[in-house]
Structure 1
Amino acid sequence: MDFCGAYKGSSGLDSVRIRFSLAEDPPGKGKAASIFKEYRMGKAALAGVKVGVLYFECTSDKFSAGAGATILLRGEVRSRYETSEAEDAARQDTLGVAYESSRALAGLLVCKAGGGLPASFTMPPEA
């Protein structure tokens, strides 16, 4: 599901893309690509300078598997352009956008307990 696209100027290629997909498992601790730092949020949170990924579980009556079915979702935000800010600030931005979009999707899906995500975003500690 394409959730959102942001555009630089009035036309052209999207500068930021947010996507969601079903996932089997989050990456194991220490198994993420070297561009990421791992954080403690949801089932797994990974943040790079241009990419943020957030895994969270959603239990909802809306799923065809029946009442109370639980699925693992993977939200990803990806920026096309290089950032001019410090790496830590860029990681916070990518993870913040992944978090906000994931909370919005969790609300649309009526995930119990907000998908296990905190009610508001603060940069979580590293895993």
Structure 2
Amino acid sequence: MLALGLGVSACGSGDEDEGPRFVGAEKVCDSVFSGDVAAALETAIGDTTFLANGDGALDRTATAVKDFYADGQDVNRGQKFCSVNGKKRGSGGMDISFGLYKQEDALSEGHSASQRPYDLGKRALAGTKNSSLYFECVSPRLDGSDKEAARVLGGLRYSDRELEGTRAEQEANLTVLHAASLALAKKLECENNGGLPTKVVLQPK
């Protein structure tokens, strides 16, 4: 939409009307990605510049998970944390979301041929198109979790992008999902960060 006010036109302002804003990996999704994780995001998406998105993501997601737990809901993809979209044509677009899972879900050994299991959290699958990370949270912010931990499930999915399915791509996806999960665990004040390491070292199972 063009600015019509004479004063605005005369001052050459109106930057907010110039179209989408693009930023580096460290600035998307409430700035939860940095250092090696930012590099992993660039590998996963296939770009170094991203559509600015995700301000307030941690607060919204923590509130949703808290509400899911209070209501006794098991909702695998209940709350979108953030979408990440590269600037250049052909780069990928991923969605990260969080919900709650049933205990038996983390004990399942089944997974698709395009996924690899890793020793991380309660269960972790690094996939080409879909990745998931399960962890448990005991927190004063989650009433009753001292008796029954909140079982939190993070999911990462691609809406598009042709992927080769290499191990490097899969591990980049899981590295990004771990960073988002760790940020949520800290926001929820989970004991021991929900069992998630501060710096992830991926070990295939």
With normalisation by structure 2, the TM-score equals 0.54
1:88 matched to 2:154: no
1:52-73 deviation per Cα after TM superposition (whole angstroms, max 9, x unaligned): 1100011101113365651111
SS at match of 2:117: strand
Q: Is the 8 A contact 1:50 1:82 kept in 2?
A: no
- Residues 62 and 91 from structure 1, CA distance in 2 versus in 1: closer, same or farther, beyond 3 angstroms? same
How far off its partner does 1:7 sit?
2.2
Name the counterpart of 2:183. Answer: 104
Higher Rg of the two aligned structures = 2
> Unaligned regions of 5+ residues in structure 1, if any?
none
Q: Is the 8 A contact 2:138 2:145 kept in 1?
A: no
How far off its partner does 1:29 sit?
5.2
Letter in structure 2 aligned against 1:56: F
Letter in structure 2 aligned against 1:63: L
Seq. identity, %: 29
Name the counterpart of 1:45. Answer: 124
Name the counterpart of 1:24. Answer: 102
Would you identify which runs of 4 or more consecutive aligned residues in structure 1 move more than 6 Å? none
Aligned mates of 1:107, 1:119 — CA distance in 2: 10
Name the counterpart of 1:2. Answer: 80
CA RMSD of aligned residues (A): 2.1
- Residues 66 and 18 from structure 1, CA distance in 2 versus in 1: closer, same or farther, beyond 3 angstroms? closer
Aligned mates of 1:64, 1:27 — CA distance in 2: 22
With normalisation by structure 1, the TM-score equals 0.84
